[in-house]
Every structure is written in structure tokens, then in C-alpha cells.
Chain A
Amino acid sequence: MSNLFILSSLTTPGIGLIFWTTVVFLLLIVLLGKYAWKPILGAIKTREEGIEKALASAQSALNDMRELKSNNEKILADARAERDTLLKEARESKDAILAEAKTKATKETERILAAAREQIISEKNAAIADLKNQVATLSIDIAEKILKSELSNADKQKTLVSTLMKDVNLN
């Protein structure tokens, strides 16, 4: 009997507890919702968003860095290529200048040589001419002297005349 009574009271909801549970539970939903869940969930969400944002920005920073690195490499390669071209050009222009200078020098040398040669020839001719003149003068002088000595006395004049006479065959 008593057991049956207890069983029925186990499965029959009591009005008092229903009332108090409703009041307390609804109050708890409202109060916890306002003063606990809202700030807690908000804070958790903010933190999660912050973490997400930080991760995204880290990723983008990594990407930026990679890009920067590849850019740097490109710039470096460009600079290297530029340097190579510059060096090559410089070498070429040096060669050209050298070659030109060499040709110019050769030409100048040749010109100078030619001029020298010409001058030598003309000097030589002048010298020869002068020598000839001097020889002529000398020989005239000698001849004069000889003539003078030959014709210094009458005998000799006579001999000479005779010799000359002898040579001159009166035809």
C-alpha cells in the first residue's frame, strides 16, 4: 500500500516544484544570459576572431616577405645582368679605343716616317747640290791656281802654248 503510494508520488510532478523550477529556471536563463553568457561568448568570439585575424595577417606577412624576397632576387639578378652588360660594353669600347689608337699611331708613324724620308732625300739632294757647287768652286780654284802656277813664267807659257798648239792641228 505504502509502496504504491510512494511510486505514484514519484511519477506525479508536484505543483510546488513545477512552480519554483519555472520561476528559477526562467530567471536563470535571463540573468545568466545577460550577465554571464553574453560577455563570455562575446569574449570567446572576439578572441577567436583575433586569433584568426592574427593567423591571416601572419600568413599575408609571410606571403609579402616571400614576394619581397623574390623581388629582391629579381632585382639582384637584374643588377648582375646589368653589370655584366656594362662590363662587356666597357671591354668592347676599350678594345675599340685601343684598336683605333693603334691604327692612328701606326698611321702617324708612317706619316712621320714618310715625311722624314722625304726630308732626308731633299736634304741629301741639297747636300749633294751644295757639294757639287763646292767641288766646282774648288776645282775652279784649283784650276785657277794651277793656271796661275802654269803661267807664272814665260817658258811655261810658251810650253803651254806649244803644247796647245800641238794639240790644235790646223786643219
Chain B
Amino acid sequence: MSSNINPRKKFTRICFLILALFFLISPRLSANDPDNNETVKTDSAAADHEKVNITKVAFEHILDSHYWHFWGEGHGTVALPLPCIIYSNTKGLQFFSSGVFNHGHDSFGDYSLVEEEIISIDPSEKVYDFSLTKNVMQLFLTAIILFLLFTSIAKAYKKTGVTSAPKGKQSFFEPLITFVRDDIAKTNIGEKSDRFVPYLLTIFFLILINNVLGMLPIGANLTGNIAFTFVLSVITLIVTNVNGNKHYWAHIFAPPVPKALYIMMIPLEIVGIFTKPFALMIRLFANMTAGHIIVISLIGLIFVFDTLWISPISVAFTLFIDVLECLVALLQAYIFTLLTSLFIGSAVADHNEDGVHNADDDKVAAKH
């Protein structure tokens, strides 16, 4: 019991640390800057009775984009056009800037940008979009940040040696690293955990930094994108099954049930291999996306009721949800890493407890 309390305490402490950091770097948390501008605009353009499509605005914030949008709408838009890389079955690889589409108003050769999707006029031409979109750019950025950050921390260890106490970012990240190593990896995987700790640390920090950046006004919703969570869970699926030992496979192809049930159990167990990472994929995607939708919906109340008087409620609730999202950002990174290590743990465990389980099952089977 006591061993459970300790990691939880540690976890709470880390949560508070992260929260404190958030308030330091961004006292204003959410993406409501552009929206407030919109408010003014909408009021001035109220004569036009132009109804704002909240759903569209919300999904523009959540979905990927070929532009890095900073602020403004219409002609006042400040956005960075990003490089497009497309592969078509007729024309091969092509590179150009997304600026050529002029936010979807213009077309470029055969191509046009519709709802952030590059499509060709020619219906027989299939276009595969490998563009460096906003999400891809944020992925690159976070990868570089993580690499520079952790190599500099590694250098600090080399420089100060291991006899001195950690300093600065070293002392900030060391508890997180040891938390992942001891409370996530070791408790769920056991003595073989050392091999998987680098993978778990990479997952944890990549998700964490992207969750955090996704909450900033101009950040991309990378961890709320199903393609990102899909890749992460596929790699977890591969890592889990490549490392599966004979107990793991025995549990799937020779489950501890009467042989007559095999026809039902084996397909179920095989489906189970895929449902676990699938749940992982959906969980992170849905949590992050839902958080962003709630924030934008609360801001959207201003447009739905078409009055500024609702804004105090919007701001209050948005602040509340944003603080909650700070927790969720950390929590989801933790849960993804925890469940990954749990799956790996079930694949590599020597299954002493499974042996007991089998014996019990045999006894039960013998009684009936």
C-alpha cells in the first residue's frame, strides 16, 4: 500500500512543479488572443450579420494546417506559409511553398487547397501529401528542443561528474527521469526494465512537450492528431510483440482455459494484441482534442450569443479548463508511458503470477 502512495506523492509534486512552470512562462494560457481580435471584428462587422461558424473555427485550431497561423483574420492574417511536399502517381515528387495557394483562394497548376487538403483537378491523379505542415514543423522543433536539452543535460553530468548534486535544468529533469525509470518502468516491467527506459523516456518527453506546446496560443495540436498517436501506438505494438516471451505467446495461443473454448479465446486474445495500442492511440488523441474543443467552445460562446457580456464567463471557464489541461498534459504523457510499460511488462514478465493463475484455473476446471 505504502509503495503506492510514494509514487503518487512524487507524481503530485511533479505536477505542481510543471504547473508552476506554466504560470511562469505563460500567465495567459490559451489560444484566445486571435479569438478576442475576432470579437472586435465581428462586432464592427455586425452590420453584415455574418454568422461565425464556430465548428469551423474550432476545427481549424485542432486540425493540421499548411500555414503556421499566428494571428488575424482575412486580410490581416499573419501566417507563415510552410513547405509543401507532394507525391503524385503521375507527376512524382513536387516541392513548393503553401504560399502559392493564398490561403485556398488560388490554385497552383493542377492543385488547389481545399479544407487543408491538396487535391488535383485531374481525378485520375492521386496526391499523397508529405508536406511539412504545422504539426510536422512542431514535431521537428520539439525533436530538436528535446535533443539539445537532454544532450546538454548529459554534458552537465559529464562536466560536474556524478559526485556533485545536480544543478539547474539537470535538477529539474532528474526527478522526472528517475520517476519514469523507477515508478513507470521498474514497477511495471520489473528487472528487465533497463532496456526499455530510453524508449519510455523518449515517449514521455515527446508527448509532454507537445501537449504543453499544443496549449500555447500559436502551438500545434500535434498530440491531438490521430496520425501522431497512431505512429506512437504502432511502435509500442511492435516493441511489445517483438519482446514478447514464450509466456506471452502461450497466453495468447494456449490460454489457460478448457480446450473447447480455444475457438473463442484465441481470436479474442489476438484482437486483444491490437485493442491495447488502439486504446492508447484513441486515449491521447481524444483527451487532447477534447481539451482544445472545450476551450474553443467556451470562447465560442461569445459568438454564439453574439454579445461581449458573456466573455467573463467564457474567460473564467477557459481559465479553469486551461489549468485542468495543464494537469491533463502531464497526466496523458504519464498514462501513455505507463500503459506502454504495462504492455511491455506483460510481454516480458516471467509470469510467476501467471503460473499460479494457471494452477488455480486447473483446479477450478477439475472441480467442474
Contact = CB atoms under 8 A, between A and B. Distances in A.
Contact of B177 (A12, A28, A40): A40
B146 A28 contact: yes
Given A25-B231, A36-B147, A43-B162, A9 B136 contact: no
Contacts of A29: 198-199, 202
Contacts of A7: 59
The CB with the most chain B CB atoms within 10 A, among A13, A17, A29, is that of: A17
Contact of B227 (A21, A37, A50): A21
A140 B132 CA distance: 176
Interface of B: 53, 55-56, 59, 62-64, 85, 115-117, 128-133, 135-136, 139-140, 143, 146-147, 150-151, 153-154, 157-158, 162-163, 174, 177-178, 181, 194, 197-199, 201-202, 206, 225-228, 230-232, 235, 289
Contacts of B62: 10
Given A13-B227, A22-B235, A25-B232, 20 more contacts: A5-B115, A7-B59, A10-B62, A10-B226, A11-B226, A12-B226, A15-B129, A16-B85, A16-B131, A16-B136, A16-B227, A17-B133, A17-B227, A17-B228, A22-B231, A36-B153, A40-B154, A47-B163, A50-B162, A50-B163
A32 B140 contact: no
Contacts of B147: 28, 31-32, 35-36
B210 to A, nearest CB: 10
B181 A41 contact: yes
The CB with the most chain A CB atoms within 10 A, among B129, B151, B177, B227, is that of: B227
A35 to B, nearest CB: 5
Contacts of B194: 41
Contacts of A39: 154, 157-158
A74 interface: no
A38 interface: yes
A44 B56 contact: no
A37 B196 CA distance: 11
Contacts of A19: 130
Is the contact region of chain B dominated by helix, strand, or loop, or is it mixed? helix
The 6 closest A-B pairs by CB, nearest first: A36-B150, A13-B227, A43-B157, A17-B227, A37-B198, A47-B162
Contacts of B162: 43-44, 46-47, 50
B197 A6 contact: no
Given A15-B129, A15-B130, A32-B201, A24 B150 contact: no
B56 A2 contact: yes
A154 to B, nearest CB: 154
A9 B53 CA distance: 17
Contacts of B235: 22, 25-26
Contacts of A38: 198
B177 A41 contact: yes
Contact of B231 (A3, A18, A35, A37): A18
Contacts of A31: 147
A40 B173 CA distance: 10
Interface string A144-159: 0000000000000000
Contacts of A33: 198-199, 202
